[in-house]
Structure 1
């Protein structure tokens, strides 16, 4: 309209069009060349797991070690923002926001299923009686959901927080690598490639979560006799919930989404407490303490376990569990890293690292201990009660647990479905916002139309993956998209080291200069004061000048004082006084 200022376009064409075009092409191929896509993905998964499984294991282990080192190192007191700036959020609020990040749908989907699966079908090479298998099952689950994924988020999140809050750079993944690549390369084609890889990782990571959530919602609706499970229901759910997510994006209900997120966290807490109280509470608390001990006792061995001596069975298990998780968390890293970076302004490096590692670890271990521990306890007491056709069904395991609880059942199933739906909406909304920022060069208020585009595209990718192969395709997508982005994470680790080390050295140089200056001033003041005091003491002992020697030589005492280094000031020839001496008497 005439007279109205036209908004300047912030779109980064070299990022938006390649990323959006390739992902859209994948969606179309997933629906119209399904068999070919499924075959290609299966082949790539096998080659990736066979060739790079060890690489994922070593990489994630290195991230854990590096993250812990940063938290306890000399860099810990550096502020992620201007010096002495107060944090944007109080500590309890910040902890709550960390808890709400990154794993919502996954916690609901795998909360019962994973520990129970490891108990019923142990990792190859793990043996023993039932108590030993139960311990190993909980410890393996903690490995997948504890320190290791959050160490990945620490690396990219810390690099972004330093870049955004300390250096004032745009909210874009490329700028996290500026200390390594330099400003010119970051602004050029290499920076575009980095942001495209980040978009791929985020879209496929979010789509994996959405696909898992839809499978569980469909199973819950079947449990409630609302609808029959199947691919058609899953496609319909994706379409309907994606439409709700797009409506959320279009309406700009930031406060509404915040309210929904907080309400969802309270609902998750209510469900957790209900299972704890209605189940074997004392056993679950004892089991949590014991499984934490098992985890810490065996974490090093589990971290580096590649099942090298277990042959094909080991590779199959790794691809379905550990390697899938490491790929999934790496895919989520741009999204979660950018989020925790934005909420951490004013935190020190030590606060950032320790908070990001410890708070989610505590919450996730309690969650899995209550839900997974309850499932294992139930299966041990009543064998077969938590199985479907002799095996663990990850889609229905949580609803089966609800049936075994006194007073549980339908209302808990409804609560779980609501949890997943709201996690779906908020994850899609937040994910599309992060992706759109990357596609707009770090602009923190990207245009509405492009946010809608990414929200719809995320739903399309989830639908295409389910259509092309279900859970296996979802797992394969995470493993494959994580491989190229892992190089960005390595670059981010090197960059944050270079940045923090350079700043620490500069701080040390400044502090040394200040200490030298203060020491010089202190010594000078001390010496000057001492000499002045000593001079006053000496001059105060000098006798009065004798008038009889006015025209002669200086008195002997004065001469001796001058020889001793005490200044002897000559008399003023005009008034007949020695300087500083009264001769009137």
Structure 2
């Protein structure tokens, strides 16, 4: 336990304060309970900084593509002799599982249906034209933007950690800009912010994951999906992910991530084959073209003239951008950990393109099939979502296929494994960020963070405070986005010096 830093103790105290605040009933604090306070702050941010979120998220995509084609692309994330620690398949599986695998399972069916029948970006609800818009914006929300954000943080952490022997903390990336000043109180504040966003973001996902798993069990078997079942699910998942976390990145996370990808691809392939195959493939091709063609306008789309789309943009696009920014410290740190030995070009292409393409396929297969059947009148998935919530969308779709119950059970297993890998990855990241950047955090620290995450999810799920916790995590996105901008400047400054140094060595070796 010698490696514990002040970040651990400060973060633990802050988390406990927020948990206590979150369980205080509104009757005791009518205007100052966690839900009211965080909602007020979030509403202010969305009202005044939506333009800012769109610009910075788009900027990070631009930086990512620049790095792919720049002269820095061949620089290794590590020493020249370093080789990648993981195969491509395991690498893709791990970054995808940590990044958003569970989100795709939850929203892959629900989001396109909601855009089509409940609240469209624009256009008349329930039409084939709006169906195309719904799929286009699903691609948009889960495509280049989130992975561009993750790529910046992950690349910077891996580059400074493995090539320049920095601590691996987010604060250490800013040393080239601010020198040793960032190693003091400001550095501690940055790292505490990282831990804050990670704990609350993952705890929220654990809670909502328990809701989806219990909703699936209830939908398939008719069992009451009450709080008791949800707490039991959290307990079981906690035991499993702590066991996995204690086994290390090379065992638990790697094995489970590989299993995730196999299950996800198998389930997606079955729906593709058994569903309206020609329609799905045509929809994917058409939507991919529309997405690429309209990416610039979608990326900077706001309702400046008040034509009626402000609420939709805030509730969906701005919410997503803030959520991805809040998750960036966690996902970026984990991606960095498993990316040693890859070149910058290899890293950015892998992180930016592969998950975007897979996510687009997933949304087309599940969301596209659901839209097709609902438009044909074969199913009423939109009605099921309205009655039972978004968590039943996938199961409502699968019951229309042969062996629907079996497919639903596979989906529940897939959701569970995705949650285990996300929480497992988070315990590693939290351990690393609170032990000075150790690549092998002590088991005790990972165990503590695992229990804290699950206890936070369970307590606030029980008290109905998960939405407040999610909002608190998203609020952290605003200050972290500023840190990310500084990260870009620090990275570019160091890459320029590194490239110049490499060029000098080449000229010197040619002369000799």
Of 426-435 and 120-129, deviating more is 120-129
Out of 203, 210, 214, the residue aligned to residue 207 of structure 1 is 203
Out of 102, 111, 114, the residue aligned to residue 114 of structure 1 is 111
What is the CA-CA distance between 1:205 and the residue it aligns to? 1.9
Residues 156 and 334 of structure 1 are in contact (CA less than 8 Å); yes or no, is this contact kept in structure 2?
Answer: yes
Out of 187, 201, 208, the residue aligned to residue 183 of structure 2 is 187
Q: Which protein has the bigger helix share?
A: 2
Q: Which residue number in structure 2 is paired with residue 526 of structure 1?
A: none
Out of 281, 285, 292, the residue aligned to residue 289 of structure 1 is 285
Residues 324 and 478 of structure 1 are in contact (CA less than 8 Å); yes or no, is this contact kept in structure 2?
Answer: no
Please state if 1:497 is matched with 2:492. yes
Post-superposition Cα deviations, 1:204-259, rounded to whole Å, max 9, x if no partner, equal 22123222211211110111235212344333432342243334445669634433
Q: Which residue number in structure 2 is paired with residue 422 of structure 1?
A: 417
Please state if 1:409 is matched with 2:401. no
Please state if 1:459 is matched with 2:454. yes
Out of 344, 353, 360, the residue aligned to residue 365 of structure 1 is 360
- d(CA) in 2 for partners of 1:91, 1:157: 17
Out of 3, 15, 32, the residue aligned to residue 10 of structure 1 is 3
Post-superposition Cα deviations, 1:509-529, rounded to whole Å, max 9, x if no partner, equal 4444555x36xxxxxxxxxxx
Q: Which residue number in structure 1 is paired with residue 35 of structure 2?
A: 38
C-alpha distance 211-126 of structure 1, shift in aligned 2 (>3 A): farther
- d(CA) in 2 for partners of 1:253, 1:164: 17
Q: Which residue number in structure 1 is paired with residue 68 of structure 2?
A: 71
Matches within 5 A, 1:269-288: 269-288=265-284
Residues 245 and 426 of structure 1 are in contact (CA less than 8 Å); yes or no, is this contact kept in structure 2?
Answer: yes
Matches within 5 A, 1:114-513: 114-127=111-124, 130-182=127-179, 184-249=180-245, 255-310=251-306, 314-382=309-377, 385-388=380-383, 391=386, 393-405=389-401, 407-467=402-462, 469=464, 472-473=467-468, 475-513=470-508
Residues 90 and 257 of structure 2 are in contact (CA less than 8 Å); yes or no, is this contact kept in structure 1?
Answer: no
C-alpha distance 99-251 of structure 1, shift in aligned 2 (>3 A): closer
Please state if 1:29 is matched with 2:21. yes
- d(CA) in 1 for partners of 2:293, 2:200: 34
Post-superposition Cα deviations, 1:526-550, rounded to whole Å, max 9, x if no partner, equal xxxxxxxxxxxxxxxxxxxxxxxxx
Q: Which residue number in structure 2 is paired with residue 529 of structure 1?
A: none
Post-superposition Cα deviations, 1:19-58, rounded to whole Å, max 9, x if no partner, equal 1111111112212345622211221221121122221111
- d(CA) in 1 for partners of 2:381, 2:152: 38
Please state if 1:20 is matched with 2:12. yes
What is the CA-CA distance between 1:16 and the residue it aligns to? 0.9
- d(CA) in 2 for partners of 1:414, 1:128: 32
Residues 172 and 442 of structure 1 are in contact (CA less than 8 Å); yes or no, is this contact kept in structure 2?
Answer: yes
Please state if 1:47 is matched with 2:44. yes
What is the CA-CA distance between 1:132 and the residue it aligns to? 1.7
Of 106-115 and 126-135, deviating more is 126-135
Of 302-311 and 134-143, deviating more is 302-311
SS at match of 2:386: coil
Residues paired across the two proteins, number: 506
C-alpha distance 191-300 of structure 1, shift in aligned 2 (>3 A): same
C-alpha distance 394-418 of structure 1, shift in aligned 2 (>3 A): same
C-alpha distance 454-404 of structure 1, shift in aligned 2 (>3 A): same
| TM-score, structure 1 as length reference | 0.81
Q: Which residue number in structure 2 is paired with residue 533 of structure 1?
A: none
What is the CA-CA distance between 1:418 and the residue it aligns to? 1.0
- d(CA) in 1 for partners of 2:19, 2:34: 10
C-alpha distance 237-507 of structure 1, shift in aligned 2 (>3 A): same
C-alpha distance 330-457 of structure 1, shift in aligned 2 (>3 A): same
Q: Which one has the largest radius of gyration?
A: 1
C-alpha distance 363-167 of structure 1, shift in aligned 2 (>3 A): same
Out of 70, 78, 101, the residue aligned to residue 98 of structure 2 is 101
Residues 144 and 352 of structure 2 are in contact (CA less than 8 Å); yes or no, is this contact kept in structure 1?
Answer: yes
- d(CA) in 2 for partners of 1:215, 1:308: 37
C-alpha distance 320-456 of structure 1, shift in aligned 2 (>3 A): farther
What is the CA-CA distance between 1:356 and the residue it aligns to? 1.1
SS at match of 1:134: helix
- d(CA) in 2 for partners of 1:466, 1:51: 30
Residues 268 and 365 of structure 2 are in contact (CA less than 8 Å); yes or no, is this contact kept in structure 1?
Answer: yes
- d(CA) in 2 for partners of 1:162, 1:339: 13
C-alpha distance 257-60 of structure 1, shift in aligned 2 (>3 A): closer
Q: Which residue number in structure 1 is paired with residue 85 of structure 2?
A: 88
Uncovered stretches (5+) of structure 1, i.e. residues with no partner: 1-7, 519-585
- d(CA) in 2 for partners of 1:150, 1:421: 23
Of 152-161 and 380-389, deviating more is 380-389
Of 327-336 and 53-62, deviating more is 327-336
C-alpha distance 449-98 of structure 1, shift in aligned 2 (>3 A): closer
Of 256-265 and 366-375, deviating more is 256-265
- d(CA) in 1 for partners of 2:249, 2:509: 51
